[in-house]
Amino acid sequence: MEKKSRREFLSKFGATVGALTIGKDIMNTFPFPDLLQKESRVAPTSGEPQSRKVDFRYAPKNWQSTYCFPDDPFKSLVGKNGELLYGHQGIGKDEKVFPHIVSFGLKGKEALTYIEQKLESPSIPIITTKLEGGDVIVQLTTFATNNSDEGRVDNVLVEIIPKDSDKVQCSPEIIIKSESKFIKTNEDDDYSIIEIETDTRKIFMVVDAAGEFRSDGDINRLQLKSATTAKEKSIKFFVRFPQEGQGYDKIEDGLEEPEDMLTEARAFWKRWKPTGGKVGWKLTESYNDFLVSSIRNIVQAREIKDGKNVFQVGPTVYRGLWIVDGNFLLEAARYLGYDKEAQEGLKSIWDRQDDNGLFTAGAGEAHWKDTAVAVYALVRQAELSQNWDYFNEMYTDAHKAIMALKELRDKAIDDGSANGKYKLLPRGYGDSGIGGICEEYTNTLWALVGTNALYEVSRRFRLPRWQEIRDFYGELRPSFFNSVNQELRKHPNGFSYLPMLMKSDPKWLESDINKQPKPQAAQIYLSHAIYPGLLFTKDDKLVRGHIELMKSIVKEDIPIETGWLANDALWPYNAAIVAQVFLWLGEQDLARKTFIGFLNHASPLYTWREEQSLQDADVFNFIGDMPHNWASAECIRFLRHMMILEDAKDLHLFKGIGLPELENGKELSLSYSPTRWGKVSVTLEPIDKLTWRTRFKREDFDEKAYSQLDWIKLPRKLAGVYNFNGIKGVKIGREVDQVLVKPEFTEWECEWKAWSKG
C-alpha cells in the first residue's frame, strides 16, 4: 500500500463540494420523523430530561452510501441525489473527486431536486431516492446484484410519476460526467449500450430503452425517447452497470427482468445475519437501526486480501488498513460475534511489523502509536476471544515492538526536542488535527496504553523478559506525568488542561488566532488513554481538565473543532469516543446527550462523514470517507458499553441505561457478549409497569488466564427511578449508588421496582 499520512491526502480540504453537486438544492436536508418518541408503557417519571430525539438534524449537506455486498471488491456508492459515484482512485486521492458521476434528469428542465432518500431497511441497502422535476417525481431504486450466471452488476430502476396532472410529457436522460471517452455501440431500438474507452473498450452502462447519445466535453448524455407518464402507467426504465467487464450477453436476461433482479437482491439481505455465533443484541428500535446499519457498513467496506479479512475504514480514501481505527473495528467485530473475521483482521495488522519491530500503516512511519496500538489489539483480542494461542505465538514480536518504542525513546533523549527533554517518545506525527512531525503527546499516550497492557499480561503469565516491559513502563509513566506539570495550560474558563501539542511548537505563536492550533486538536488520544486505556483515576486532574475542555466546545450537541477542520466544523465520531469516557465516569446524561448528538450527525441512511462543517457555516465543507467505519465501530462500542462496560477490575452493567432507554417498555439484552472475563449474557425486561427484571450469566472463561475481577456492579437505582429490590441466592455488597455482586456467582436474577408513580 502507498504510505501516505492522513494529513497528506486530506490537505486539499479547502475545496467545496461542487464535484458531487447535481441538483440546485443539494445543500438542503430532509426533516425525517422522530424515531425515538414512542408511546411509553413505563408509569414512573423523574426530573431527568428526556433524551434529544434522533431526527438527523445535523446530517451533512450531502452524503454518499454503499449498496454493495459484504467483502465486495466493487465498493459501489450512491449520492444524496441518487447519483452513482464511480472510479475513485483510493488512498491519497481527493475524496471529493470521482472520475465518473452518473446522474438522471429531464431534457429541457432544470436539474432534479432532492425530496428524500431512504434505505429499504437498516439491513437492506436497497436505496430509494425521490427527486422533484417540476410536474413529475423521479424515483430511483439503486441496488447491487451478484447472480451466479451474470456476475456482479449495479442496477438502477427509474420511475417517472406525474406530480399533480393525470398525464405529463417528458424526455428522460442519463448524464455521465467524466473526462473519459464514451460511445454508444448499438443501433437497436429496444436498448442502449454505452461503452467506455480505457485501455480497452468495455461496457459501462446498458439501458432497456433506445436513446440518442452525445458528448459535449466532459458531459455525456443518453437522451431517451420522449414519452407520456400517467398516473395509471408511469414511465419506467432499467439501467445496469456491469462491474466485472461482462459482455452484453451475460447481463441481457437480467435487463429484461428488473423486478426479479430486485427480488434477488432483497432475498440476499434478508438472509444476511448481522451477528455471528451465539451473539445477540436487542435494543430500542432507533438504537437497533443504527446498530444494524453500522454492522452492514463495516462488512460492505471489508475486503479479502491475501486470504484474510481486512476491516477497512471506508470505500474510497480510506480503503485500506489504519491500525488505530482497525483496533476499534476489531473490538466491534468481536462484540458482534465475528470471531474468525476479527482474528484475520488482527493477523493483517501484525503482517505490518517490520524487522525493527515497528508498525507502519496508512498514517505513515512517524505515527509511532501504530506500534503501541497493534500490541494493545493483540492483548485485547486474546481477552475477548478467551484464546491466548495467537498471543503466545506473537509474544516475542510484541516484546520486540515495545523494545523498539523504548529504543526510539532512548535515541530521542539527547536530540534537543521537548520530547527528548521530557524522556518521552520522539517527535512524531500527531494526526487528528496535528500535522507534520512535531513535539506532541499522542504517540507517548498510546505507548503508555500499549506497554501497560502487555506488561500486565506478561507479568501475570510470567512470560520471558517481562521485567524489561515493566521497566520501560516504569520509566515512561513518571516521565509523562513530570512533563505534564510544565505543559498544562489554563483555560479562560478557569480549569487546567493538557494540549496534545507542546508549548514549544512555533504554531502557538501565530499572530492570526485562526492559524493557531486548537487546544482540542487530537484530544481523541487523551480520551483513549482515559477509556479504554485506563491510565488515570477518575479524579485525576488530566481527566477533569479533558472533560471540562470537551464541555466548553460543544455546538450541535457535540464537541467541535477537534480534528483537521479547525474552524466552524466538527468530527462526528470523536463525540462517540468522548461519550464513552462520560459513561466510564458515570456521567450518564452527558454520555447520552453526546451520543445522540453523534447519531444526529449521520445521514438519514445511517452513515457518517469523517469531518464536516457546522450547519450554519458560510460554506459547507467536508473531509474524509463516507461511510466512515471507525464511526460505525464507535456506534457499536457505545451501545455495548451502555449495557456492559469493563473497568480495570469490575464489570459494570447498565451504566448508560436511563428512562429514555426504558420508555417504550420493551426488553433490552445482550447475549454471549465477549469480555475479558468471559462471555456475558444480560437482559433487562419489564415485568409490569413498575418492575424490571435482570437475568445475568457469565460463561466460557478460564479463570486462571484472565485478569482479576473484583465485582459485577449494578446501579442501586435504575434510570433514577427503579430501586434495587433483591437478588436470588446471591450475597451482595453495596456502595452509595451501586450494588456489588461477587464474580463467583456466574448466574443470577435480580429485580428493580418503582415504589410509587411519583
Distance CA 250, CA 421 (A): 67
Spatial neighbors of 502 by CB under 8 A, at least 6 apart, are 418, 419, 438, 439, 440, 441, 487
Residue 207 · residue 224 · CB < 8 Å: yes
Phi, psi values for residue 250, rounded to 5°: -70, -40
Least confident of 191-200, 288-297, 610-619, 651-660: 191-200
> What's the helix, strand, coil split of the chain in %, to 5?
30, 30, 40
Burial status of residue 119 (CB atoms within 10 A of its CB: 0-12, 13-18, 19 or more): buried
Q: If you compute the radius of gyration of the chain from its CA atoms, what whole number of angstroms results?
A: 27
**DSSP-derived 3-state class of residue 3:** coil
Cα distances (Å, whole numbers) of residue 244 to 157, 200, 416: 20, 13, 56
Side-chain half-sphere exposure of 189, counting CA atoms within 13 A: 0
Which class in CATH covers the domain with range 280-635?
A: mainly alpha
Residue 577 · residue 527 · CB < 8 Å: yes
Q: What mean pLDDT do residues 165-172 have?
A: 92
pLDDT at residue 321, as a whole number = 87
Distance CA 349, CA 311 (A): 10
Residue 319 · residue 337 · CB < 8 Å: no
For the chain, the structural domain boundaries read: 6-26+61-121+124-271, 280-635, 650-753
Q: What mean pLDDT do residues 607-617 have?
A: 97
Percent of the chain with pLDDT over 90: 86
Distance CA 101, CA 161 (A): 24
In tens, the pLDDT along 690-728 reads 999 999 999 999 998 899 999 999 999 999 999 999 998
Spatial neighbors of 518 by CB under 8 A, at least 6 apart, are 433, 561, 562, 566
Least confident of 5-19, 68-82, 249-263: 5-19
Residue 43 · residue 757 · CB < 8 Å: yes
When pLDDT is cut at 50, 70 and 90, the band that residue 31 belongs to is very low
How far, in whole angstroms, is CA 25 from its chain's centroid? 27
Percent of the chain with pLDDT over 70: 93
When pLDDT is cut at 50, 70 and 90, the band that residue 679 belongs to is very high
Q: 3.10.20, 2.30.30, 3.40.50, 2.70.98: which CATH number matches 6-26+61-121+124-271?
A: 2.70.98
Alpha-carbon dihedral sign for residues 357, 361, 364, 369 = negative
Distance CA 6, CA 322 (A): 10
